[in-house]
Amino acid sequence: MDGFSQKEEQRLLKTLQQESDNLGLVERRKFLKNAMVMVGAGAVVAQTGSVIASSNLPPAVPSWSRKLGDGVLTNPYGLPSDYEKDTIRRTVGWLTPDRISSISMTPLHKLKGIITPNGLAFERYHGGLPDINPDEHRLIIHGLVERPLIFTMDELKRFPSVSEIKFLECPANGGMEWKAPQMEGLQFTHGMLSCCEWTGVRLSTLLDAVGVKPEGKWILAEGADGSGMTRSIPMEKALDDAIIVYAQNGEALRKEQGYPIRLMNPGWEGNTCIKWLRRLEIGDKPWYQREETSKYTDLMPDGRARKFSFVQECNSVITSPSPEVPLKVKGWYEIEGIAWSGKGKIKGVDISLDGGVSWRPAPLKGMIISKCLTRFSYMYNWQGEPLLLQSRAWDETGYVQPTFKQLRAERGGNSIYHRNAIHTWKVHSNGSVQNAQLS
């Protein structure tokens, strides 16, 4: 297993894929995980690690081993190591006229697994970040209901709760790339994306409580922020999987995410997941508010607009290598990435090394959860050749992530939203990685 050719490696992976197809889901995952490790172990060791010699030994006793450190509780609420100070959310100065109606992005290139830590989850405000006292906050549900009700936070928390790991994405994610590739970095091409464990009450539970009248078909969700952000939500979604969320990755919802409560519509545009939620009004038709007419609609080539394009369709991107994670030396690498779909589970991912001329399967790894980030992985022995790296995901509905050409042909060039096209990283022979777009 001390290294093998690209052809051998392809054959091996194909065999593994075939063998895995004969197993059940859980077994298959376990098998593929083990198989990848097996392939990887032999592969990477040929180039990784050094035989121990006096020249590469660290000090016998490093400075930090020679003294006692700080005791517990210097940080009752802990923070990352100072050595990780570059792992932060970032914004783009020119993107919006002001930072109170702007966005900051998740450093996807620094993240592993599927959970986004709360301190790094992307933020988007329409009128700045309100600082809400939870004791004074109320949720009102009214309109076409039998019993209009008003809830304190304590009351909401007495309902049975659910906890689910779901991705959250702004429909403008990748929006700066509709004309030409201009953002140099994964954090800026795909960073309006995070994935957390959300806990709260099913919206359907609260709707049971108020008793929706038969003519109630839409819900206006309103935020308590300075912009009074509103969206119209169809009753079907509310009764399906929407959650009134008060916790994120175990702890209270972060301010940036809508403290003390937000609406969570799994798999749907982030802006529909109204933050700082204060009011739900049941009506018989949508309201056509500002943020669902002038914004968050997609102007099509014929001048008409796609409205209520709620679903974040299947998408994927390679996180390593990427502009922020270049290839430093020749040898074996785990080409890794994330895939997600607002319609359900990721079913598979292919990757291409030649800009989409040929494709090979990239096994999924770890948990595969509906409307959640899913990791894919492909072991590759890079010997300095230039690459046009792409990933193409599809979901359990059969929807396949489109090429940019296909997407552009259908949607034209007016919209900034829902750009879920296959993404290209150009790997140069020096290992640097550049954002590219194939016509």
Q: Does 118 bind its own copies (CB under 8 A)?
A: yes
Q: Does 24 bind its own copies (CB under 8 A)?
A: no
Q: Does 413 bind its own copies (CB under 8 A)?
A: no
Residue count of the chain: 439
Binding mask 209-238 for its own copies (x = CB under 8 A): xx-------------xxxxx----------
3-state secondary structure of 422: coil
Going by C-beta distance under 8 Å and a sequence separation of 6 or more, which residues neighbour residue 82? none
Q: Provide the greatest CA pair distance for the chain.
A: 79
Pick from 391, 89, 409: nearest CA to 257: 89
Closer to its own copies by Cβ: residue 414 or 430: 430
Burial of 133-147, coded b for 16+ CB within 10 Å and e otherwise, reads eeeebebbbebbbee
Q: How many residues bind its own copies (CB under 8 A)?
A: 136
Single-letter amino acid code for the residue at 151: F
3-state secondary structure of 175: helix
Q: Does 74 bind its own copies (CB under 8 A)?
A: yes
Closer to its own copies by Cβ: residue 228 or 344: 228
Q: What angle do CA 385, 388, 393 make, to 5 degrees?
A: 135
Q: Does 368 bind its own copies (CB under 8 A)?
A: no
Q: Does 427 bind its own copies (CB under 8 A)?
A: no
Contact 137, 131 (CB under 8 A): no
As measured in angstroms, the least distance from the Cβ of 384 to its own copies is 16
Pick from 268, 335, 298: nearest CA to 412: 298
Q: Does 366 bind its own copies (CB under 8 A)?
A: yes
In angstroms, rounded to a whole number, what is the distance separating the alpha carbons of residues 359 and 350? 6
Q: Does 121 bind its own copies (CB under 8 A)?
A: yes
Residue in the structure block whose two tokens are 């777009």: 437
Burial status of residue 405 (CB atoms within 10 A of its CB: 0-12, 13-18, 19 or more): middle
Under rule CB under 8 A, which residues in 167-196 are in contact with its own copies?
196
Under rule CB under 8 A, which residues in 305-344 are in contact with its own copies?
328, 331-334, 336
Q: In DSSP terms, which residues pair with 162 in a beta bridge?
A: 200
As measured in angstroms, the least distance from the Cβ of 363 to its own copies is 10
Q: In DSSP terms, which residues pair with 394 in a beta bridge?
A: 348, 400
Q: Which stretch binds its own copies (CB under 8 A): 106-114, 285-293, 307-315, 391-399?
A: 106-114
As measured in angstroms, the least distance from the Cβ of 95 to its own copies is 10
Under rule CB under 8 A, which residues in 80-99 are in contact with its own copies?
80-84, 87-91, 98-99
Q: Which stretch binds its own copies (CB under 8 A): 246-254, 391-399, 400-408, 414-422?
A: 246-254
Q: Does 23 bind its own copies (CB under 8 A)?
A: no
Q: Does 434 bind its own copies (CB under 8 A)?
A: no
Cα-trace Rg, the chain:
24
Contact 307, 269 (CB under 8 A): no
Binding mask 125-164 for its own copies (x = CB under 8 A): x-xxxxxxxx-xxx-x-x----xxxxx--xxx-xxxxxxx
Q: Does 396 bind its own copies (CB under 8 A)?
A: no
Under rule CB under 8 A, which residues in 257-296 are in contact with its own copies?
259-260, 276, 278
Q: Does 64 bind its own copies (CB under 8 A)?
A: yes
